[in-house]
Amino acid sequence: MYLPRGLIGHLYQNLVKRNHAYASPVLLLVALEPDALCACRILTALLKRDYIQHKIHPVSGYGDLARATENLIRPMRTTEGGSGGLVVCLGVGGMVDMEDLLGFEVKENGEGGPGGVEVWLMDARRPWNLANVFGSSVGPDPTTGEIVRKYPGVDKGRLTQSYQSGRGGIIVFDDGDIEEEMESQREAYCALEEMPEVGEEEDLDDDSDESDADAPPSGQAPKKRKSWGEDDDSDAEMTDSERPSQRRRSNSGGSIPSSPETRPARRGLLVTSNELGGSSDFSRSDSRSRSASPAVAAPKEISVKSLRKQLMAMRNKYNSVLDKYYDLGASYSEPVSSIVYSLASELGREDNDLLWNAIVGVSSLELYGRTGSGVGINPLSSAGGSAGWNGERGERIRSDYRDEVRRLNPIDLRDVGREASAGDASGVIPTSARSATDKSIRLSPEPRFLLLRHWSLYESMLHSPYLSARLHIWSDHGRRRLDKLLAKMGVSLTQCKQNYTHMDMELKRGLRERLLRFAPQYGLDGLVPPPPRSGEAKDGWGFVRCWGWKACLSAIDAGVILGAMLEVGDAKSLNTSSFEPSNFNSAHDRSEMASSNTTQNNANLTVHDPQEHITARFWAAYDALNNIDILVEHISTAQHLHRAILRTGTTLIEKKQIRHLRAFRMAVVKEGPDVQLFTHPGALTKLALWVAEAIVELNGIKSKNRGSELVMAGLDETRGLYVVVGLGGGGATQSAKERIAKREARLKEREKKKAAKEKEKERKRKARIQRNLAAGLDEDEVEDDTEEEEEESDDDASENEEDGAGGFGRNRFGHAFQEVVRETNARVRMDSFEACVIEITKEDLSGFLERLSMKAVVG
């Protein structure tokens, strides 16, 4: 089931009404990533204001989720002696069948079901598992106790205003995409849910005439009705590639579904031929002798075989719709923190703290390459400033937040003169608060530098992924280009190598104008946002918040620090003598390696890492969101991580350790002082993004194949395996100038076509009027069908334009990984919520990558 965006506050208000002193605490399952962490901060603030008890539990992957199901969710169910309750998943479980994973399916004897446990799903990963979105949970009716499939207030998986929560089941929070773009998937899924069982196509040849003669008048062979939770018999006959829900073994003894492929259709009531629109198998002579009324076609004259053919044709049609949706590949939609902030806004609870958490969560997505085309290089924003992590949609979200900043942080009239004299109004990067008690959020023309306020200008530019790729900073020539840029700007090395806050004030005030003047000469278009075009429209401007005289941080800097805390750990342990494996491993006790080998081999690969390290990182980052002292303390952690990224990436390029396979490029980190840092998927993804941008600059411009597909593997020697991440999609292969030029060319072409169509439409209208007058008719007595044709052509043009603007394939590494695992004996662990992240044994890596290079990794 899904909750439309317009009713985002409906379930929460029901929760507040049901809340009392003895109510079960709300369980929050939070992914270990900055976006989910910020969403958790916002939601807990709402729960505290309404005095709703809650418990937070971090989960690092599907193994943790399975253990949380067994230890925390199962005792909540009424069937297990609990009292029901609410589970909120933030960044968790959107791509798997949660009903199956949580054990909510109803058995044949009527046992099972959600047991009064309601699960709210908020996840930015796509594709959705459609069982979560459109599936109707099965459970006992609270009044009669009978097993029911459809609840009041649910229309084909869509919750309406009349829905009353508390019955249990899976509820997805729609960010707008489901309601606007997934109507065809909704129709197909609901039709498959209600479709009777028809067997397989090869079974039609085995049907005999005797079975038709013995069939009942309804045209359906008698068979036993199955319960809603029972698996379809036909599933057992499918091959691995056709099976709807592949599963991975876990150490806890359960099974974890992989990324969704084809959701098994739940069977509903049998339908007659009238419901199918009549039979198409009648002979021509018989159809001519009968009346045109469909009631004449008696269902008893339709053979079972004919009816099954129609059902199977419909089933194949609907399955193809779902398959096409799943085969698009991975992508990202609206961040979880943005969804939760929308909930706070709907309730009228927004304030600066909640707004800042939402801004940090949204800004963090571009640090991990999460785009509308999956995990890959972020498309460049033509407006400068932050990267356009989600195209026009991402810019709309940032524009809404800029409006929120202006609304919640009005400028005091006493500060207007001060800002004018200090240059803030014209675009000087703020580095200090207005007063000792100032905690406001401001707009700032943030350049694409890294931790500018907490590093020197030189170090900030040196470690910026954007500048590193375009200046070839890994080479001596690239370093000299950086020195020349600074020299042209009139900034001496003495000035730029001291802390930015201590630089000469005149240099800081004129820095933005100098960057706008000289950066395009080095191919750095969009390095900083342009001046405001009109009034308050500050496209591309970032967000900055100060905490009195303590600190001043941009939203991107806060996201960088939070990410480093989750990926590296405690800043105090950043010395070579304390590189303990448990401080860097990304998860504990992960699910077993997928392998066809003996159980003994798998037993040797079972990992038992202390959960305390993961939990400690989560709570440190959680506290840092509300404690600026903790956040500032871990700035050194972020600096250490990005120094390691620059060192490791430079080594890979200089030693030519990046190989070009058939479908992607590949690099392996297996030596060096920082190798242990990149055993965490998040840190490895950041390194892969840095290398991918460098590859595009080195090879993409010269060659016709400008793809940025890259597989990066990091060796974890202590566990004897590689952590592997696959980058695809994205598409930052165009400069901002190229993107602007192409967009303007498309707009001009569109205007020409529009003018030509209007001219042709007017000509046709005049000709129609002349024909009507000549025939003695009024002008409006004959319908004009040209308007509909024009609208259709306009729609086609807009679709083609969108395809041209976003013509980058989606990341399909998740599909490719699963296909290779099924075809080989590679021992692979797929425990991450990211489909493009896996773990594989050292011995199996080369064979796995060789087979992977034959797959399509971008859809």
Q: What percent of the chain has pLDDT over 90?
A: 38
So what's the pLDDT on residue 378? 73
| Residue 481 pLDDT grade (very low, low, confident, very high; cuts 50, 70, 90) | very high
Task: Write out 336-356 in H/E/C secondary structure.
Answer: HHHHHHHHHHHCCCCCHHHHH
Least confident range of 84-98, 569-583, 642-656, 830-844: 569-583
| Residue 629 pLDDT grade (very low, low, confident, very high; cuts 50, 70, 90) | very high
Cα three-residue angle 574-578-580, rounded to 5 degrees: 110
- Average pLDDT of span 93-107: 88
Burial 365-389 (b: 16+ CB within 10 A, else e): bbbbbbbbbbbbbbbbbbbbbbbbb
User: Where is pLDDT greater, at 352 or 234?
Assistant: 352
User: Tens digit of pLDDT for each residue in 253-284?
Assistant: 333 333 444 333 333 333 333 333 443 343 33
Q: Are 312 and 198 in contact (CB under 8 A)?
A: yes
* Separation of alpha carbons 176 and 91, rounded Å: 17
- Average pLDDT of span 371-376: 83
* Separation of alpha carbons 817 and 836, rounded Å: 8
Asked if residue 105 has pLDDT above 90, the reply is no
| Residue 206 pLDDT grade (very low, low, confident, very high; cuts 50, 70, 90) | low
User: Tens digit of pLDDT for each residue in 499-520?
Assistant: 998 888 888 888 888 988 898 8
User: Tens digit of pLDDT for each residue in 236-258?
Assistant: 333 333 333 333 333 333 333 33
Q: Verify cis geometry, omega within 30 degrees of 0, for the bond prior to 335.
A: no
The SS3 of residue 278 is: coil
Q: Which is it for the CA torsion 513, 517, 519, 520, positive or negative?
A: positive
What is residue 734's DSSP assignment?
A: S
So what's the pLDDT on residue 46? 96
Per DSSP, what are the bridge partners of residue 90?
Answer: 30, 122
User: Tens digit of pLDDT for each residue in 542-553?
Assistant: 899 999 989 999
Q: Where are the alpha helices (DSSP H) in 164-290?
A: 177-181, 183-194, 209-213, 284-289
So what's the pLDDT on residue 156? 85
User: Where is pLDDT greater, at 702 or 698?
Assistant: 698
Most confident stretch, 378-387, 523-532, 753-762, 832-841: 832-841
Least confident range of 313-327, 585-599, 665-679: 585-599
* Separation of alpha carbons 145 and 533, rounded Å: 63
Tokens of 17: 């009404």
Asked if residue 39 has pLDDT above 70, the reply is yes
Amino acid at 452: L
**2-194 is classed CATH 1.10.150:** no
* Separation of alpha carbons 43 and 28, rounded Å: 9
So what's the pLDDT on residue 390? 64
* Separation of alpha carbons 623 and 611, rounded Å: 18
* Separation of alpha carbons 840 and 713, rounded Å: 9
- Average pLDDT of span 557-578: 76
Asked if residue 69 has pLDDT above 60, the reply is yes
Mean pLDDT over each residue of the chain, to the nearest integer: 77
What is residue 434's DSSP assignment?
A: S
Query: What is the bridge-based pairing of β-strands 169-173 and 117-122?
Result: parallel
Task: Write out 670-696 in H/E/C secondary structure.
Answer: CCCCCHHHHHCHHHHHHHHHHHHHHHH
* Separation of alpha carbons 121 and 170, rounded Å: 7
| Residue 537 pLDDT grade (very low, low, confident, very high; cuts 50, 70, 90) | low
Estimate the crossing angle of helix 736-774 against helix 786-805, to 10 degrees.
170
So what's the pLDDT on residue 561? 96
Q: What is the DSSP string of 376-423?
A: SPPPPPTT-SS--TTHHHHHHHHHHHHHHHHHHSPPPHHHHHHHHHHT
Least confident range of 18-32, 161-175, 267-281, 811-825: 267-281
CB-based contacts of 53, cutoff 8 Å, min separation 6: 23, 24, 25, 26, 47
Burial 444-465 (b: 16+ CB within 10 A, else e): bbbbbbbbbbbbbbbbbbbbbb
> Which residue pairs, CB below 8 angstroms and at least 24 apart, start in 474-477?
474/646, 474/649, 474/650, 474/653, 474/654, 474/694, 475/654
Q: Which is it for the CA torsion 697, 702, 707, 713, positive or negative?
A: negative
Asked if residue 165 has pLDDT above 90, the reply is no
| Residue 527 pLDDT grade (very low, low, confident, very high; cuts 50, 70, 90) | confident
Q: Are 680 and 636 in contact (CB under 8 A)?
A: no
Longest CA pairwise span in the chain (Å)? 98
The SS3 of residue 581 is: helix
Ordered by start, the domain boundaries in the chain are 2-194, 348-563, 736-805
Q: What percent of the chain has pLDDT over 70?
A: 70
Asked if residue 100 has pLDDT above 60, the reply is yes
User: Where is pLDDT greater, at 133 or 139?
Assistant: 133
User: Tens digit of pLDDT for each residue in 771-806?
Assistant: 777 776 655 544 444 444 444 444 443 443 343 333
817, with CB counted inside 10 A (0-12, 13-18, 19+), is buried
User: Tens digit of pLDDT for each residue in 110-132?
Assistant: 677 888 899 999 999 989 999 99
| Residue 384 pLDDT grade (very low, low, confident, very high; cuts 50, 70, 90) | low
Q: What is the DSSP string of 151-162?
A: -TTEETTEE-TT
So what's the pLDDT on residue 427? 67
The pTM (predicted TM-score) of the whole model is 0.78
CB-based contacts of 194, cutoff 8 Å, min separation 6: 268, 269, 271
Asked if residue 554 has pLDDT above 90, the reply is yes
Asked if residue 854 has pLDDT above 80, the reply is yes
Q: Are 206 and 232 in contact (CB under 8 A)?
A: no
